[in-house]
Amino acid sequence: MKFPQNSAPLIHLYSRNGVQVHMKREDLVHPEISGNKFWKLFYTIQNYQNEKKEKPLIITFGGAFSNHIAAVAKVGQLENIPTLGIIRGDELEKNWQKNPTLKLAHENGMNFRFVNRETYRNKESLSEKLLAEFPQSCIIPEGGTNDFAVKGIQHMLNFETEQFDYLCSAVGTGGTLAGISKFCKENQQVLGFSVVKDLEQKKLISQLSGKRNFELVDATFGGYGKINEDLIYFINSFKKEFKIQLDAIYTGKMMQKLQMMIDENYFPQNTKIVAFHTGGLQGNFGVNLQLTKKKKVLLNLEH
């Protein structure tokens, strides 16, 4: 993999209750390998390519609407490496073509294996079996979080981000926040907006970053992947005001919770905040698919 030609612009969003909020647009680094996914995969893929395997294969894991699955498929296409996605939910095997994420991943060359949820949960055993079957493969964990991913996240930080008191990111598997925590300046505080209930999350992030300069904020709003009308209204209003599309699983919940915290005077006066837009916008098509089935208000995805 090569460094992207595009940079992630830093923009001022608003000032509210004496707090300045900026956004770093990592979603613009690459049109299809979205946001933090690019940086999380960067060194993993680069290291694997250096091994020069005779029969290269990238294997990874994800759910039906996984940003990580979509990103790995595109990386494989661009780097000419075959990819195999281990997909949670064997019920998807017969109708995956109707799923926008899996359809896109397949168009980018990814093959699939669908496994039931019980088998999927035991990824250590599953990975061992896959490595025995494909001994020259690169097996990337769900979400891409490993030591290489943490190393890659350092490229989301630069001289521009050094001016901020708080660095904010949505948290799923924890790799992105671990990288921000590890490579930020000593005087900076890191806030992770957790969109999934995981009691081991804080421990894992500490292990990966080697630091404890971060706090986790509950931004699940009912649970991972749970979406209510307030969130849809917030995302659509945010887009109308700032001309920026958020996703409903990660950045939408982060920005909604951040605004609530500012309104509740969580931050001291004159605080400067930067929130990282980590992409994941392809997942919005899957969200609207589910909302349509439930006859709910949809995300506005028009350009």
Indicate if the alpha-carbon torsion angle 227, 230, 233, 237 is positive or negative. Answer: negative
- The pLDDT score that the predictor gives to residue 125 is 95
**Do the domains spanning 10-31+156-293 and 38-144 agree at the CATH topology level?**
yes
Look at residue 162 and tell me whether its pLDDT is greater than 90: yes
pLDDT digits (tens, 9 = 90+) for 193-240: 999 998 899 999 999 999 999 999 999 998 888 999 999 999 999 999
- The pLDDT score that the predictor gives to residue 39 is 97
Local structure of 12: helix, strand or coil: strand
- The pLDDT score that the predictor gives to residue 81 is 98
Q: Is 66 a catalytic residue?
A: yes
- Ramachandran sector of residue 58 (left: φ over 0; alpha: ψ -120 to 50; beta: rest): beta
Instruction: Give the alpha-carbon dihedral of 125, 131, 137, 139, to 10 degrees.
Output: 10
pLDDT digits (tens, 9 = 90+) for 137-159: 999 999 999 999 999 999 999 99
pLDDT band per the 50, 70, 90 thresholds, residue 270: very high
pLDDT digits (tens, 9 = 90+) for 92-125: 999 999 999 999 999 999 999 999 999 999 999 9
What value does the mean pLDDT take over residues 3-19?
92
- The pLDDT score that the predictor gives to residue 100 is 95
- β-strand 83-88 against 110-115: which pairing, if any? parallel
pLDDT digits (tens, 9 = 90+) for 45-86: 999 999 999 999 999 999 999 999 999 999 999 999 999 999
Look at residue 1 and tell me whether its pLDDT is greater than 90: no
Residue 238 near residue 255 (C-beta atoms within 8 A): yes
Q: Which residues contact 203 (CB under 8 A, 6 or more apart)?
A: none
Domain boundaries, the chain: 10-31+156-293, 38-144
> Rounded distance, CA 54 to CA 185, Å?
42
Residue-averaged pLDDT of the chain: 96
Residue 231 near residue 256 (C-beta atoms within 8 A): yes
What single-letter amino acid sits at 163? Q
- The pLDDT score that the predictor gives to residue 31 is 86
Structure tokens at 104: 């896109």
Structure tokens at 134: 């494909």
Single out the catalytic residue among 34, 66, 169, 194: 66
- The pLDDT score that the predictor gives to residue 4 is 83
Architecture of the domain delimited by 38-144: 3-Layer(aba) Sandwich (3.40)
Other CB atoms closer than 10 Å to residue 183's CB: what's the count? Answer: 18
- β-strand 214-218 against 10-16: which pairing, if any? unpaired
231 alpha-carbon distance from chain centroid: 18
- The pLDDT score that the predictor gives to residue 225 is 86
CATH class of the domain defined by 10-31+156-293: alpha beta
Local structure of 139: helix, strand or coil: strand
Look at residue 5 and tell me whether its pLDDT is greater than 80: no
- The pLDDT score that the predictor gives to residue 199 is 85
pLDDT digits (tens, 9 = 90+) for 168-200: 999 999 999 999 999 999 999 999 999 999 889
Phi/psi of residue 117, nearest 5 degrees: -65, -35
